[in-house]
Amino acid sequence: MIKITLPDNSIKEFPKGVTGYEIADAISSRLAKEVLSVSVNGEVWDLTRPIEGDAHIKLHKWDDREGKDTFWHSSAHLMAEAIEFFYPETKFGIGPTIDTGFYYDIDLPEGRQLSEKDLEKLEKKMLELAREKNDIARREISKADAISMFSEKGDVLKLELVNELEDGTITLYSQGNFTDLCRGPHLPNTGLIKAVKLTSVAGAYWRGDEKNKMLTRVYGVSFPKQKMLNEYLEMLEEAKKRDHRKIGKEMELFTFSEAVGQGLPLWLPKGAQLRMQLEDFLKKVQRKYGYDQVITPHIGDVRLYKTSGHYQKYGKDSFQPIKTPAEGEEYLLKPMNCPHHCEIYKAKPHSYKDLPVRMAEFGTVYRYEQSGELHGLTRVRSFTQDDAHIFCRPDQLKDEFKKVIDIIFIIFKALDFKDYTAQISLRDPNTPDKYIGSPGNWDKAEQAIIEACGEKKLNTVTEVGEAAFYGPKLDFMIKDALGRSWQLGTIQVDYNLPERFNLEYIGSDDQRHRPVMIHRAPFGSMERFVAVLIEHTAGKFPLWLTPEQVVLLPISKKYNDYAKKVLNFLNNSDIRTIIDDRNEKIGKKIRDNELKRIPYLLIVGEKEAETDTISVRRQGEGDKGSMALNEFVEFIKDAVKKQLSGLYN
RNA sequence: GCCGGAGUAGCUCAGGGGUAGAGCGCAUCCUUGGUAAGGAUGAGGUCACGAGUUCAAUUCUCGUCUUCGGCUCCA
């Protein structure tokens, strides 16, 4: 007998060689039906693999990431089986799982192509194969056998993979007529896969290297229940409707012009209004937290960026310097604000008593992004960071870092982002060439972040190798209303720039000391943030933020004068109001303005004009009855105050 | 940057070797209305740009630009 420890630390005895499935079945038959894979001492295993000794285990269902991974991994194999059925000479690359679903990179036989039209056929075949409920069997194989097997098959891709593996660790998985090189784990049988959608087909280089052959990548997603697939497809539809590029156009928030250039957004009046509202909000918060606003030019001497190290790192792959005609001086469109801010810091000597110095700027920066990377407002060549740099003493670092975390949460609260994770990005000690600065400073910086997160009790994940080249960082990812993750704010600790710019302060010991810098941008960039906000809210922005809060709808032109009086009154009361005095019936005006996502529609006609009232209609909710004008102003101001209460006052 | 789609009116899109169409929007007129589409008339296009094939190109071919889906990249 062996001892099996469950996640609740209860221990059960089972015969040696018991499988994950048998353990699940012993607990409950319902669990046995739902379980997909099992972690054995921290390693995810097939349910059918015998456990030979004492072990800690955790059973994974669909709700676990590990469960989904197993499910989608097997689905990728099922897809490969279907592809092999139709195109027997196909060579298979890798078929991993991704956030939602899986893909397989394949090399189709000479002259064959796969297009979106073929996907339906493959889906049908996959479901047909799934209904056969074929067992998925694991088999260990020697390296020599694996090499001869894939040589025989002529599968050069798998051969390349096998050659890189160590003997004794190579496993094959088979189901029906299909066998694949694979580390596993997999579902016990293909019958658990009840619903499949192949979502797209695209080109991808073998092993992500553009020098290699372009393979065909087929993306898909699968589910244990048809209903789940339907929900997923509905979510995709909804995501399409919320696409910020579509809504941005509809709501006249921003546009692009070929004449201006790709990746250079033009903010239209309503978009600019929205953005300024966000900026003003953050400025107020920052004032409370002791920041000073600064303004710096859009270009800087190229030597500034040589000092900072940015030029060496990115210069040649970026926008090239601008030259002055007479002197031949070289200037760079600024890709970062920090060097300018360092020079502001240097403009006067600093005492330890002055620190921290917190310098904020909505700084527009220009970066060359590869043309294929540009995407709406989320990836552009000119964008404005809600940037700030905090110059502080080493002993202040952690506290300052924690205050920045507080600001980020104020923003999340104001905009109703409830679900976040914070990613701590550390350097990869194996690739020291990628980073500048001394290992000692890196250690201190990484430690400060880890401790600050711990003390703030943040929900964090740690990624090694994701640090910026000058320092470690903490990035915030939020989940939007559709459950999609977006990276927004960032906080970065930097010992390097102060050194490169020779920044100093005079300590209480009357000696020169080096300050530490924190780079931080809670929104990230205004462009990207607005894009995320559009998709999160589907364009229905919170009342405090939305560019047009109220629209006046006169019943007929007889009441236009009264409507205009109300319009002036509301605008003078700082309520952003417009009027729709087109020659249209009231039903038509209501419909059009409901679709424009304006929160309040005020209908005015004879009744209202006589009594100095308005008839209130809430967008998406319908008629709310009539209100006196003063009463309505108070009501709106109250609603705005409630949304922002306690955040900066 | 690389692979593959796409580019026709302000917007969404149909069409196709003989120089263009719909709906919405816009303008004018009729209607003056009470909580999600009243009616009529009209203006709007170098069919992304450049070259080639052809008697004739918006349509076919090539190149360029932009855009979309991926890949790689992201201070």
Distance A257 CA to B49 C1' (A): 15
pLDDT class of A649 with cuts at 50, 70, 90: low
Q: Which of A383, A385, A382 is nearest to A359 (CA)?
A: A385
Using the CA of A492, give the nucleotide whose C1' is nearest. B75
Active site residue A350: no
Using the CA of A616, give the nucleotide whose C1' is nearest. B35
Any idea what the CATH number is for the domain that residue A46 is in?
3.10.20.30
Catalytic residue among A310, A358, A389, A398: A389
Catalytic residue among A244, A367, A381, A528: A367
Looking at residue A107, what is its pLDDT?
Answer: 86
| Helix (H/G/I), strand (E/B), else coil: A290 | coil
- Contact between the CB of A334 and strand B at under 7 Å: no
Active site residue A338: yes
Active site residue A387: yes
Structure-token pair, residue A446: 């990484």
Of A537, A558, A592, which marks where a domain is finished?
Answer: A537
Say whether both A302 and A385 belong to one domain.
yes
Say whether both A590 and A511 belong to one domain.
no
Q: Does A249 fall in a domain?
A: no
Say whether both A555 and A453 belong to one domain.
no
Active site residue A473: yes
Residue nearest to nucleotide B74 (CA to C1'): A369
**Is residue A148 predicted with pLDDT exceeding 70?**
yes
Any idea what the CATH number is for the domain that residue A576 is in?
3.40.50.800
Range of A111's domain? 66-233
- Average pLDDT rounded to a whole number, residues A225-229: 93
How many CA atoms lie within 13 Å of A501's alpha carbon, on the beta-carbon side? 26
Looking at residue A152, what is its pLDDT?
Answer: 86
Looking at residue A120, what is its pLDDT?
Answer: 82
- Residue type, position A176, single letter: G
- Total Cβ atoms within 10 A of residue A379: 17
- CB-based contact A60:A84 (threshold 8 Å): no
Structure-token pair, residue A435: 């980073």
**Is residue A387 predicted with pLDDT exceeding 70?**
yes
Structure-token pair, residue A119: 């996907």
Structure-token pair, residue A307: 């000092």
- Contact between the CB of A217 and strand B at under 7 Å: yes
Distance A249 CA to B11 C1' (A): 9
Say whether both A183 and A100 belong to one domain.
yes
Active site residue A312: no
Catalytic residue among A105, A107, A386, A387: A387
Radius of gyration (Cα) for chain A, nearest Å?
A: 30
Kindly state the DSSP code that residue A182 receives in the 8-state scheme: -
Looking at residue A531, what is its pLDDT?
Answer: 96
- Contact between the CB of A241 and strand B at under 7 Å: no
Looking at residue A548, what is its pLDDT?
Answer: 96
- Average pLDDT rounded to a whole number, residues A397-425: 93
Number of domains in chain A: 4
**Is residue A111 predicted with pLDDT exceeding 80?**
no
Kindly state the DSSP code that residue A353 receives in the 8-state scheme: T
Structure-token pair, residue A3: 């001892």
- Average pLDDT rounded to a whole number, residues A214-237: 90
Say whether both A37 and A92 belong to one domain.
no
Catalytic residue among A519, A528, A536, A597: A519
pLDDT class of A603 with cuts at 50, 70, 90: very high
Distance A201 CA to B5 C1' (A): 11
Q: Does A610 fall in a domain?
A: yes
Looking at residue A273, what is its pLDDT?
Answer: 96
Tens-digit pLDDT profile for residues A320-364: 999 999 999 999 999 999 999 999 999 999 999 999 999 999 999
pLDDT class of A440 with cuts at 50, 70, 90: confident
| Helix (H/G/I), strand (E/B), else coil: A95 | coil
Distance A372 CA to B6 C1' (A): 15
Give the least confident one: A29-33, A353-357, A393-397, A473-477. Answer: A29-33
Distance in angstroms (rounded) separating the CA atoms of residues A546 and A540: 8
Q: Does A283 fall in a domain?
A: yes
Looking at residue A114, what is its pLDDT?
Answer: 77
- Contact between the CB of A200 and strand B at under 7 Å: yes
Say whether both A92 and A18 belong to one domain.
no
Which of chain A's residues 435-464 bind strand B, using a 7 Å CB cutoff?
none
pLDDT class of A89 with cuts at 50, 70, 90: confident
Say whether both A40 and A72 belong to one domain.
no
pLDDT class of A459 with cuts at 50, 70, 90: confident
Q: Does A191 fall in a domain?
A: yes
Say whether both A464 and A605 belong to one domain.
no
- Contact between the CB of A595 and strand B at under 7 Å: yes
Catalytic residue among A175, A385, A396, A549: A385
Of A502, A537, A572, which marks where a domain is finished?
Answer: A537
- Average pLDDT rounded to a whole number, residues A538-544: 96
Q: Does A171 fall in a domain?
A: yes
Catalytic residue among A49, A68, A350, A473: A473
Distance in angstroms (rounded) separating the CA atoms of residues A344 and A390: 12
Distance A607 CA to B30 C1' (A): 26
Kindly state the DSSP code that residue A296 receives in the 8-state scheme: -
pLDDT class of A475 with cuts at 50, 70, 90: very high
Long-range contacts of A271-279 (CB under 8 A, 24+ apart): A271/A530, A271/A547, A273/A547, A273/A576, A274/A530, A274/A541, A274/A545, A274/A546, A274/A547, A275/A526, A275/A530, A277/A544, A277/A545, A277/A547, A278/A523, A278/A526, A278/A529, A278/A530, A278/A545, A279/A362, A279/A386, A279/A526
Q: Does A247 fall in a domain?
A: no
**Is residue A117 predicted with pLDDT exceeding 80?**
no
Any idea what the CATH number is for the domain that residue A108 is in?
3.30.980.10
- Contact between the CB of A624 and strand B at under 7 Å: no
Say whether both A35 and A162 belong to one domain.
no
- Average pLDDT rounded to a whole number, residues A5-13: 90
Q: Does A144 fall in a domain?
A: yes
Give the least confident one: A205-209, A274-278, A512-516, A616-620. Answer: A205-209
Say whether both A439 and A564 belong to one domain.
no
The set of strand B positions with any atom below 7 Å of a protein CB reads 1-4, 11-12, 25-27, 29-38, 65-75
Using the CA of A372, give the nucleotide whose C1' is nearest. B1
- State chain A's mean pLDDT as an integer: 92
- Contact between the CB of A190 and strand B at under 7 Å: no
Q: Does A607 fall in a domain?
A: yes
Looking at residue A573, what is its pLDDT?
Answer: 97
Any idea what the CATH number is for the domain that residue A516 is in?
3.30.930.10
Say whether both A412 and A306 belong to one domain.
yes
Percent of chain A with pLDDT over 90: 64
Structure-token pair, residue A495: 């010992």
Helix segments in A329-389, DSSP class H: 338-346
Say whether both A175 and A94 belong to one domain.
yes
Which of chain A's residues 461-490 bind strand B, using a 7 Å CB cutoff?
468-469
